Amino acid sequence: MPSRSWLLSLAISLLAIVWTAVGLDNGLALTPPMGWMTWQRFRCITDCAKYPDECISERLIKRTADLMVEKGYADAGYKYIVIDDCWLEKNRSDDGYLLEDRARFPHGMKALAHYVHSKGLLFGIYENYGNKTCAGYPGIYGHEKVDISRFADWGIDYIKVDGCYFYGNDYSKGYELLQKTLNSTGRPIVYSCSYPAYEDESSIPTDFQLLADNCNLWRNYDDIQDSWNSVTQIVDWFALKQDHIAKFAGPGHWNDPDMLLIGNYGLSYEQSKTQMALWAILAAPLLMSNDLTNIRKEYEEILLNKRIIEIDQDPLGIQGLRVYRRSSIEVWTRKISPVNIDEYSYAVAFCSRRTDGSPYEFTTTLRRIGLKFTMGYTIQDVYSGDEWDGIYLSNTNLTVRVPPTGVVFLKATVLI
């Protein structure tokens, strides 16, 4: 008779097959992509004379690649280094090629990709399906084949395609064409699609199945800004749409709430913990955008927390949901492994929007937030790693104290 753990792994592989069958089949992003991207922290700083340490340049990318390895981010799973907008010359070459800015990328993108690869990391770039990029550099529209084959030749492993300056009426067709063009290069390239955010803005309904068929990840909503207000807006949008969008996330295809702000100016320590926890609940790509040279230790610890990364990268790839909201306390849960036959383990985030002073005491039972396994769960505090004593049955009371705008993040593991 097959053992229980054998059945368990069979169930997990079957699930994985079912999930991967419904989306883009390029073998990539089987867990949410992790890495670092220029935009949120460095925007379109191009004046290297004035801001030598911050301008979008090969210097910034090399420095970040070095630090990703030295500070343990690479080992923790952060693999992609992605240059967002503002890396190009304002005009194409006379023979129609895109040119990297020659002052800021004097050795060219191919050499830079090589440098990033030599560190054991992967390299990503940005373009825009339209006549211009959002910051006004040459767009890819009308040059799809030439540009993408050049990117493949440079050795890129990831492309974010934005949606500014598009005057047509069907984004998805163009993005589908780009997917086919990417595939035809034969190079495995993670494909990030920004167009749902533009459709959302214009109240155009998005065909999420088509998205999952064509893109490894997609930006659903507005760009993140360096503030708690921006985080809560994004999180509210994801909660509002969850019944519609969560089911399209899975190995190879992910909803993307945008970059992690952690280590920058706008979020407090507690708010940073909340962003990290919720991004893990949402099975979100973990793309930092910060200056790794001077990031404070306690923020670094949030980004490098192995238990949180493990939840984010759970192989089942099931996006979590907001399951409770009252008195400005929210409970978010995500089904994760291990699974006992058909009972999941869960990541559970208790988040507070409260701004009154003391931590808010909140009591619930596991059953009330959807954890119904009769044999019970063991509980671990994900941030500290502390295991709670005993077994938690679905009807026992569980009390947490949630700090203002903070989080209590737990992992409830099914007994096996």
Ligand X SMILES: *[C@@H]1O[C@H](CO)[C@@H](O)[C@H](O)[C@H]1NC(C)=O
162 has catalytic annotation: yes
Label residue 187 exposed, middle or buried (CB < 10 Å: 0-12, 13-18, 19+). Answer: middle
- Residues, the chain, total? 416
Shortest distance, CB of residue 364 to ligand X, whole angstroms? 8
128 and 140 Cβ atoms separated by less than 8 Å: yes
213 has catalytic annotation: no
Residue among 200, 223, 226, 381 flagged as catalytic: 223
Site of tokens 């990417």: 182
80 and 36 Cβ atoms separated by less than 8 Å: yes
2/186 with CB nearer ligand X = 186
26/313 with CB nearer ligand X = 26
Residue among 157, 162, 258, 314 flagged as catalytic: 162
Q: 370 — alpha (psi -120 to 50), left (phi > 0) or beta? A: left
Site of tokens 């769960």: 377
Shortest distance, CB of residue 306 to ligand X, whole angstroms? 30
Residues that bind ligand X (CB under 6 A): 25-27, 90-91, 130-131, 141, 165-168, 183, 186-188, 363, 397
Shortest distance, CB of residue 184 to ligand X, whole angstroms? 8
199/310 with CB nearer ligand X = 199
- For residue 194, give the nearest of 220, 212, 170 by alpha carbon: 220
The tally of CA atoms less than 13 A away on the side-chain side of residue 311 is 32
13/91 with CB nearer ligand X = 91
Shortest distance, CB of residue 180 to ligand X, whole angstroms? 9
Interatomic CA distance for residues 157 and 49, integer angstroms: 30
73 φ, ψ (degrees, to nearest 5)? -65, -40
61/182 with CB nearer ligand X = 182
Shortest distance, CB of residue 348 to ligand X, whole angstroms? 17
Residues classed as catalytic: 162, 223
